[in-house]
Chains A and B, each alone.
Chain A
Amino acid sequence: MLELRGIRVPGRQAPRLDQVDLCLHPGERVALLGASGAGKSTLLAVANGLLKPAAGTVLWEGVPPALGRRARRRQQARIGTLWQDLRLIEELTVQQNLNAARLAHWGWPRTLLNLLVPLESEACAQVLRRLDLDPSLLGAPVAALSGGQRQRVAIARMLRQEPVLLLADEPLASLDPRLAADLLQLLLALAEPPKALLLSLHRPDLLAGFDRVIGLRQGRVLFERAVADVDGDLLAELYGGSGA
């Protein structure tokens, strides 16, 4: 599904990522654990193709990033990302935001028409219903939504993209514990096989439900093992000072 080999991303002083290997199989749910600044966001940016590593290989569904613009866009359309800051377009309606996830497949007529009339309402309503949101929200401007609704609309947009690989960058960071647990269950449930999920976290208390954990420290993979095998010592090393 996703294969990264020997990834290196230079930084100002130390490299942001160094010799990182990662393999994600269909149906797998993997948590990316590490302190802030460990390189989790950088790794996700490499995984969704926004950042080109200085060295190393990226394979999406076994294929390297295409050179042609069009083919490359098709590949990226199959990777959905949930951003910590959501990145919804405040000025547009919920439906226009959901449809923005289809731009990779749309030509200019539909790109412009989406800004004028409601397009593909049934498909949009469907993703909203999957997230327990009322389809009557479709016409509302995003700026008018509550915090919880926005979070769900952002997930709905990711689903509307129909991705096979789901990436999420600290989606639980700014939520209270109960909301965070609910949202995590939702994301885990959405990543049904053959979809795969890679989710970055900085709190180690939410690992239940994942298949594997990858610990990242100072741009390097410190460990990679099943959730059951992650113990306190390992976490102490992951979050410990600069270490020897």
Chain B
Amino acid sequence: MRPAAPLLMLLPALVLVPLLLLLPSQWHGGGGELIGRFLLAAVQPSLDPLVLRSLLGGVGVTLGMAVLGWSASLVIGVLLGAASSRTVWRTLGGHPWPAELLRRLLAIPRSIHELIWGLILLQLLGLQPVVAVLAIALPFGALVARVIADLLDTLPTHALEALRGGGAPAPAALLTALGPPLLPGLLSYGGYRLECALRSATLLGVFGLGGLGTELRLTMQSLEFRELWSGLWLLLAVMLTLEAGVARLRRRWLMPPRLGLAAGGVGRRGREMVLALLVLVPLGLVVARALGVEASALLQRPPLPALPPPDWAAVAALPWPALVGSTVLLTLVAACLAVGLAPLQWLLVAPWPAMKALMRLGWALQRLWPPPLTALLLLFLLQPGLLTAALALGLHNLGILGRLLLESAVDRGAAREQALLGAGSGARQALLYGRLAPVANAYLAYGAYRADVMLRETVVVGLVGATGLGSQLMESLSSFAWDQILALVAVYALLTLLGEELSDRARHRLLEGNGSPEAAPSQLGIST
């Protein structure tokens, strides 16, 4: 009695039952009036020129950090990706073992969230813009490297063998045979990473690394909600422009050219891509200058305070089982919430187009709004603890999953839904059977991947306390107990790698032999 796919995607929403039962015990409602003021401020943001100027400056800094970190991550990713590809090593005449080794090593920077990178680099280098850039570039670079290596190793090698057989030298053959087919995947994934970089730069700001995030947190703490909303709407505008721009380029460059245009299309697109890459380099330099990022600063780091001798007994005395247990529980609750709520919300609003537009706006704000700020907001109503953290994390990821669900469902077309509507079924029933069923497996597979990301992200809601490894790490960081930090980061990384393994398996099980083979890889291509 295995539930059919569309039902399976709704089942995670059952987590709402225990959640709603527990909510009253966590409710203090003390800041109800503040929440009211916060919501009201959404429609009357501050238009004070001084405020706007300062916020715009913040947006500029955040965008700059994001673009720099992102560009660096692409460079790192392409180089390391090629270096950890089995095909590349084999073609260069060697054994593929260095690729395997590098692949395993890269799992470590990847498994550590950019916030941890940021906070540790902050301790080492002091407060300067390069910290945020590096914090984004390192883990993102390792992620991009993995995707590139996977893409390279799954591309068909006939063309490569033909060129090698014709006597072309290995590097030239690799570039010619694998470069062009790699480009669409790289562009598609790279565009998606830019959006992630903007979210991360905002998040790092919330933890004091500068830019709009810092301003958002300050306005939030001083309860200046109208200024807070000015910043939020600005960020939303930037994010939506970016998303639209990326989607447009993706369509322009990657969609199969329409009939009749094919002849001129390829060369033109190639030139445009190269041009865009060339523009990116001077742009990066200008942005780096404007932000005051100086590579030389990396060499002259401030002297570290004298480190106390390690106290391994204290490290061992940390409540490890409880820390790991709460981290896993937090991840599961937040993941169920995000995965299950997106289709459920869509089903609820299905009959009313206006409500659907409102839901999309809500999702856009949710994925934009850094989870620690949601957590702070929730603290106006709820006690600090796991539930509050799970809500904050879940709502943020709901925005991301919801958008993905909408997009993939729209891609599959409305014919089946129409057929059901024509036979008299209700709008919600037609949506569930006709629209959601075809994308259910790919969506759940993405959900499994997302759960793995959320495990890494639990650290960002650590500030509401009692959330396991994340909150303990925050505590150890603020007292600079380096021995504890080391142990915590190692356990975190280990847990993330384990989660990655599990989510990979879940994904393969969901996608194997199911009706939509062509949809699934493209879905995951954007997201891995």
Contacts and interface: CB of A to CB of B under 8 A. Distances in A.
9 contacts: A81-B422, A87-B418, A89-B416, A91-B514, A92-B4, A92-B5, A92-B437, A104-B424, A112-B7
Interface stretch (B114-122, B392-400, B425-433): B425-433
Interface of B: 1, 3-7, 351, 415-416, 418-426, 429-430, 432-434, 437-438, 440-441, 514-516
Contacts of B515: 90-91, 141-143
- Residue from the set B4, B418, B419, B421 with the largest chain A CB neighbour count within 10 Å: B419
Given A50-B418, A80-B423, 5 more contacts: A49-B422, A79-B424, A87-B419, A103-B433, A112-B7
Given A92-B437, A100-B433, A117-B1, A76 B516 contact: no
B420 A103 contact: yes
Contact of B4 (A79, A85, A116): A116
Contacts of A116: 1, 3-4, 7
A58 to B, nearest CB: 14
Contacts of A76: 421-424
A121 B7 CA distance: 20
Contacts of A103: 420, 423-426, 429-430, 433
B514 to A, nearest CB: 7
B440 A73 contact: no
Nearest to A85: B415
Contact of A104 (B1, B419, B425): B425
B437 A50 contact: no
A73 B438 contact: no
A77 B7 contact: no
7 tightest A-B CB contacts, nearest first: A104-B424, A77-B424, A103-B425, A76-B424, A115-B7, A87-B419, A90-B515
Interface residues of A, number: 37
Contacts of A115: 3-4, 6-7
Given A87-B415, A116-B7, A104 B438 contact: no
Interface of A: 48-50, 69, 73-81, 83, 85, 87-93, 96, 100-101, 103-104, 106, 111-112, 115-117, 141-143, 161
Contact of A50 (B4, B421, B440, B516): B421
Nearest to A89: B437
Nearest to B3: A116
Contacts of B516: 90-91
A143 B430 CA distance: 19
Given A89-B416, A96-B4, A115-B7, A104 B423 contact: yes
Contacts of A50: 418, 421-422
A79, A96, A104: residue with the most chain B Cβ atoms closer than 10 Å: A104
Given A89-B437, A91-B516, A141-B515, A73 B424 contact: yes
Contacts of B423: 76-77, 79-81, 100-101, 103-104, 161
A18 to B, nearest CB: 23
Nearest to B347: A108
Contact of A87 (B6, B416, B440, B514): B416
A152 B421 CA distance: 21
A241 to B, nearest CB: 24
Nearest to A75: B424
Contacts of B441: 91
Contacts of B6: 91-92, 115
A192 B187 CA distance: 58
Contact of A91 (B419, B426, B437): B437
Contacts of A75: 424
A50 B429 CA distance: 16
Contacts of B421: 50, 76
Nearest to B514: A91
A50 B419 CA distance: 9
Contact of B438 (A49, A83, A89, A111): A89
Contacts of A83: 415, 419
B34 to A, nearest CB: 38
B348 to A, nearest CB: 12
Contacts of B4: 91-93, 96, 115-116
Contacts of B415: 83, 85, 87
A111 B440 CA distance: 16
A113 to B, nearest CB: 9
Contacts of A93: 4
Contacts of B351: 69
A115 B437 CA distance: 10
Nearest to A48: B422
Given A91-B438, A96-B4, A111 B422 contact: no
Nearest to B441: A91
B429 A111 contact: yes
B7 A81 contact: no
A100 B4 CA distance: 13
A91 B440 contact: yes
B468 to A, nearest CB: 34
A69 B3 CA distance: 30
A128 to B, nearest CB: 18
Contact of A100 (B5, B425, B438, B514): B425
A48 B4 CA distance: 29
B445 to A, nearest CB: 13
B336 to A, nearest CB: 18
Contacts of B430: 103
Contacts of B429: 103, 106, 111
Nearest to B517: A143
A88 B419 CA distance: 9
Nearest to A82: B419
A100 B422 contact: no
A79 B416 contact: no
Contacts of A73: 424-426
A79 B421 CA distance: 11
A157 B421 CA distance: 14
B197 to A, nearest CB: 35
B424 A100 contact: no
A74 B437 contact: no
| Centre residue among A85, A96, A111 by max chain B CB count within 10 A | A111
Nearest to A49: B422
